[in-house]
Structure 1
Amino acid sequence: MITGDANQMARYIFITGGVVSSLGKGLASAALGALLQARGYTVRLRKLDPYLNVDPGTMSPFEHGEVFVTDDGAETDLDLGHYERFTGVPARMTDSVSSGRIYSNVLEKERRGDYLGKTIQVVPHVTNEIKDFINIGDDEVDFMLCEIGGTVGDIEGLPFFEAIRQFSHDKPRGQCIFMHLTLLPWLAASGELKTKPTQHSVKELQSIGIAPDILVCRSEQPIPEKERQKIALFCNVRKEAVVAAYDLKSIYEAPLAYHREGLDQAVLDAFGIAPAPRPDLSVWEDVNDRIHNTDGNVNIAIVGKYTQLEDAYKSIKEALTHGGMHNRVKVNVSWVDAEVFDKEDAAPYLEGYDAILVPGGFGERGTEGKIKAAQFAREHKVPYLGICLGMQMAVIEAARNVAGIKDAGSEEFDHEAGEKRFEPVVYHLKEWVQGNAKVTRKHDDDKGGTMRLGAYDAVLSDGSKVAGVYGGTAIEERHRHRYEVDTTYRAKLEECGLKFSGMSPDGRLPEIVEWEDHPWFIGVQFHPELKSKPFDPHPLFREFVRAAKENSRLV
């Protein structure tokens, strides 16, 4: 910690939102974390979500966007992906909690008799559970940033707001501050920015005992000095602590944009830290240079089943952007619904793209289209990256159309239909080794958390394309899946040219496949997109975009 005091506890920044949802609390939190790092501080970011699901693992992507998986196997909110991409700090299971998890913990303790027969109430039992969660690891970093999901006034969020009010009261004076995001709507008819929604939002926050120290105001227009003074006066904050947040062309402009508006300085002032260390923003200046100064465009098709909601593939989209930045190209992504050509020729939908990516997913819907996408990429020598289910579909395609296993399919699809229709070259994973323990699963287990989750090692074949991509033969990647490719078919598939170039250390579970006679065709069972960052692109996305660039004849 920059303080040099071994007993120094973390300073806490609680980020709340008002007026409307989707103002960008996660992005603001991530950008602030990056700015504090640029000044030499250590940070950790956390998300407290009011919904009653235990975690997002069983939620539809249409409901909640993608599920972000941590190294230690937590299924978390996609905002944790923002946190990692901006700070490079690997998220942990203790960085995400929901009302469902909090209430579940409280009820388990009640059943065990931990409360000694007391009546269980929101205050103090639920709020204490939240405070205990917030306190985890507070001696590890200089700043702990905690984002509260939803907006002030939501009934589900009230226990969290009460908990952070109590938490700041319990801590020594000056150890906690509150940052509140609001909206300044622009009324074109009158040509005015309206401050009243922000005033009402702050009053709502004040009514539950929380007074914001910093206001971050989303606005489409510059905030005039008069309105800034008005907000400061009526919301009881310093004028310098009213920070504008404008729409940006790229989310990676956020750290520099917030620095120009004085967010990091306002935070340090609120804590009374003076003199403040000077920031080193060279990393973000380079990131922005790579975003805005490119040598051309590449066009990549993402063939999936959740294409109506881009947040379902948030990390994949960002990882492609990172790969583009490294290769000095702008990646134009087209979202192609796999169901559209389930029973049609894929060529009219995929011709003209420089590369094809098939992401993960669950269930049979859209899988025939994904198989056809893999076939198109193989036959037309188009760069292909298959992730999780995308790898499995590439294996099924090879089994059907190259190895002669005409009924090749997945046990997942048979299980879903309740009948046997396929020869399963992909099967339900019933046991595997995690650390030093054997994990077992059954088809009828609860869905939540019953997958192969988190970081696992893999061993790559010497001389393989993927070993060249990684620059070595030992890797660790994050997983989230219930089904695996069956090694029973390995020999037959490898005879046809589909090499199993990455395996689990015990040699039982296929991790990576690649076509030997293809310019760039790789399928991976894990999710490499979860570890990609703008200043450190994942090797697979870096090289996948390079292959797309070469295919587009930009090189």
Structure 2
Amino acid sequence: MTRFIFITGGVVSSLGKGLSSAALGALLQARGFKVRLRKLDPYLNVDPGTMSPYQHGEVYVTDDGAETDLDLGHYERFTGISGRRSDSITTGRIYQNVITKERRGDYLGATIQVIPHVTDGIKDWIKADLADEDFVLCEIGGTVGDIESLPFLEAIRQLGNELGSERTMFVHLTLIPWIPAAGELKTKPTQHSVKELQSVGIQPDILLCRCDREIPAESRRKIAQFCNVRPSAVIQALDVDTIYAVTGAYHAEGFDDEVCRHFGLDVPAPNLKNWDDTVDRIRHPEGEVNIAIVGKYTSLLDAYKSLAEALRHGGIANNQKVNLNWIDSEIFEREDAVQHLDGVHGILVPGGFGERGSEGKIQAARFARERKVPYFGICFGMQMAVIEAARNLVGIKQASSTEFGETPEPVVGLMTEWLRGNMLEKRMAGGDLGGTMRLGAYECDVTPGSLIAGIYGKTRISERHRHRYEVNINYKDRLEKVGLKFSGMSPDGVLPEMVEIPDHPWFVGVQFHPELKSRLFEPHPLFTSFIGAALTQSRLV
């Protein structure tokens, strides 16, 4: 029997519903349950694929090619369960489905309304594509009171009635702010948020209260009384020094115990030894390395959320603290790279779109190549490294990307077709933005004996992609003659996937996004190796 837990938020946004959902999923998993996590976003976009990183942060891509909210990354990193397209639901996708059905005549001439047609569509999506999961955790984006979220709240209210309390539970995340002038924590914002939720017919079963200090027992009793929950169901969610401490902190506060009590489940306490050991390693590293990340969205770090976590995973694997130095790549177009990169132990150039900041990324790649500093180029970062090598090693001064406009030397360009397994995939330059992407998991053949083959320990891998342009295979021979080896190719030999410089301490570029597959207990091997190389570099400088 599948049980559904709905996580809503109130008072303010960015309280951490995604992390709370991920941590609860991990706790239930540690108790022996099979879990699934889903995100219901109320915006009208079909998905976040065409949204600016400054608007939405990172776009997280699943194996099956869905462009989703970054919270799905938290779910995967905490539980190790790969998300799917069916785990990301938006108002835009629901309305798209409803309107498509209406145009086909599926509703037999009925007047299409939010209730029941839109809410039924939401409920169908919540219950679809499930197997033998014990729990499905559904996070509702936004905050209670938002106009956009009302259809989702109505849908989960209906599911609560239809399935009953033995199969549904409502968790509400709120803020308990500390008011310095008054010298106390204030519970009124939580009370008002719960009343707003009750006004749409939902009574929360558990209140998860974010705060920066202990909630006095009297305040917890007051919250319970005014919000119509048991005192034991008022769970304080204190700030912690690392997000990976959230799981243990929630268990210590009785969060998962309260969930099991609600559903009448008598199961052993979770074994959190792996979590405790990992948090201890995070808090007590053997040393530290400094990594420069040269990107174009550095003013909003959520744009690189998975990247930052993957680097930390690599640090954990090497027992090192990873200090991240975020650098706007446009700086290098005005200033000498030496001022900002001298002394760092590793340089990473991440993905991105558009010409802005590209020359700065090329300068960062050149600095790493010439100074023998470990370099990791991801997606766009690989393309810029290839362009740098074409310009400064091969001597193709006009080497560029067709993404930046017409060029006589398209070292990077838009490929129109390739094989995915036995299927031919095509794209057109004038198509929809999402339609011109290479999205999701693709296989890659790795050259035996290469650095990358040694890192992976195998010669056939699968990684997730999200990009529009490819390195031009026609330049491969000239680039390899000057030392840039193409050590990974698509199985049909058409698309370059990985490059490396064998006589460099560690210089790797990959067309895919390995950060999307790095998990707390399974650090991605490329990040583990990169941080290991940075550690070696730290002993030389």
Which band: TM-score by shorter chain? over 0.9
Indicate whether 1:52 and 2:44 are aligned.
yes
Indicate whether 1:332 and 2:318 are aligned.
no
Say which of 386, 410, 433 aligns to 2:419: 433
Say which of 157, 163, 168 aligns to 2:160: 168
Indicate whether 1:352 and 2:338 are aligned.
no
Indicate whether 1:261 and 2:253 are aligned.
yes
Indicate whether 1:486 and 2:477 are aligned.
no
The separation in 2 between residues aligned to 1:240 and 1:502, in whole angstroms, is 55
> In the alignment, which residue of structure 2 is the partner of 1:447?
433
Q: 2:427 touches 2:435 (CA, 8 Å); kept in 1? A: no
> In the alignment, which residue of structure 2 is the partner of 1:342?
333
Q: For residues 463-542 of structure 1, what are the structure 2 equivalents within 5 Å?
A: 463-542=449-528
Q: 2:36 is paired with a residue of what secondary structure?
A: strand
The separation in 1 between residues aligned to 2:184 and 2:263, in whole angstroms, is 33
CA positional deviation for 1:449:
4.3
Flag the 1:554–1:218 CA change in 2: closer, same or farther, 3 A: farther
The one-letter amino acid of 1:457's match is E
CA positional deviation for 1:242:
0.4
CA positional deviation for 1:422:
4.6
The one-letter amino acid of 1:455's match is A
> In the alignment, which residue of structure 1 is the partner of 2:29?
37
The separation in 1 between residues aligned to 2:196 and 2:69, in whole angstroms, is 26
CA positional deviation for 1:432:
1.8
Q: 1:290 touches 1:326 (CA, 8 Å); kept in 2? A: no
CA positional deviation for 1:429:
1.9
The one-letter amino acid of 2:416's match is K
Task: Encode CA deviations 1:321-359: one digit per residue, 9 max, x unaligned.
Answer: 000011011000011100111244311121111000000
Indicate whether 1:19 and 2:11 are aligned.
yes
CA positional deviation for 1:450:
2.9
> In the alignment, which residue of structure 1 is the partner of 2:377?
386
The one-letter amino acid of 1:58's match is T
Q: For residues 32-431 of structure 1, what are the structure 2 equivalents within 5 Å?
A: 32-273=24-265, 275-414=266-405, 420-431=406-417
The separation in 2 between residues aligned to 1:150 and 1:554, in whole angstroms, is 48
> In the alignment, which residue of structure 2 is the partner of 1:6?
none
The separation in 2 between residues aligned to 1:445 and 1:343, in whole angstroms, is 35
Structure 2 gaps of 5+ residues are none
CA positional deviation for 1:163:
0.4
The one-letter amino acid of 1:102's match is I
The one-letter amino acid of 2:338's match is A
Q: 1:53 touches 1:98 (CA, 8 Å); kept in 2? A: yes
Structure 1 gaps of 5+ residues are 1-8, 415-419
> In the alignment, which residue of structure 2 is the partner of 1:3?
none
The one-letter amino acid of 2:110's match is K
CA positional deviation for 1:167:
1.1
Task: Encode CA deviations 1:372-393: one digit per residue, 9 max, x unaligned.
Answer: 1000000000000000000000
The one-letter amino acid of 1:269's match is R
The separation in 2 between residues aligned to 1:113 and 1:550, in whole angstroms, is 65
The separation in 2 between residues aligned to 1:84 and 1:178, in whole angstroms, is 22
Task: Encode CA deviations 1:255-293: one digit per residue, 9 max, x unaligned.
Answer: 0010111110011111111x2222111110121121011
Q: 2:45 touches 2:91 (CA, 8 Å); kept in 1? A: yes
The separation in 2 between residues aligned to 1:178 and 1:477, in whole angstroms, is 36
**TM-score, normalization: structure 1?**
0.96
The one-letter amino acid of 2:401's match is S
Q: 2:347 touches 2:373 (CA, 8 Å); kept in 1? A: yes
Q: Provide the identity percentage.
A: 66
Q: 2:336 is paired with a residue of what secondary structure?
A: coil
The separation in 2 between residues aligned to 1:97 and 1:26, in whole angstroms, is 14
**TM-score, normalization: structure 2?**
0.99
Q: 1:296 touches 1:554 (CA, 8 Å); kept in 2? A: no
Q: 1:302 touches 1:357 (CA, 8 Å); kept in 2? A: yes
The separation in 1 between residues aligned to 2:452 and 2:46, in whole angstroms, is 37
Q: 1:410 touches 1:422 (CA, 8 Å); kept in 2? A: no
> In the alignment, which residue of structure 2 is the partner of 1:4?
none
Task: Encode CA deviations 1:454-484: one digit per residue, 9 max, x unaligned.
Answer: 0000010110000010011111000001110
Flag the 1:528–1:210 CA change in 2: closer, same or farther, 3 A: same
The separation in 2 between residues aligned to 1:301 and 1:222, in whole angstroms, is 37
CA positional deviation for 1:529:
0.2
The separation in 2 between residues aligned to 1:387 and 1:139, in whole angstroms, is 35
The one-letter amino acid of 2:120's match is N
Q: 1:443 is paired with a residue of what secondary structure?
A: coil
The separation in 1 between residues aligned to 2:373 and 2:453, in whole angstroms, is 20
Aligned residues: 541
RMSD: 1.1
CA positional deviation for 1:434:
2.6
Flag the 1:12–1:449 CA change in 2: closer, same or farther, 3 A: farther
The separation in 2 between residues aligned to 1:520 and 1:546, in whole angstroms, is 10
The separation in 1 between residues aligned to 2:213 and 2:181, in whole angstroms, is 14
Flag the 1:422–1:349 CA change in 2: closer, same or farther, 3 A: farther
CA positional deviation for 1:170:
1.4
Task: Encode CA deviations 1:394-438: one digit per residue, 9 max, x unaligned.
Answer: 000000000111100001111xxxxx3451111102112234321
Task: Encode CA deviations 1:75-111: one digit per residue, 9 max, x unaligned.
Answer: 0000000000000000000000110111111111110
The separation in 2 between residues aligned to 1:181 and 1:119, in whole angstroms, is 36
> In the alignment, which residue of structure 2 is the partner of 1:5?
none
CA positional deviation for 1:139:
3.4
The separation in 2 between residues aligned to 1:62 and 1:552, in whole angstroms, is 33
Q: 2:326 is paired with a residue of what secondary structure?
A: strand
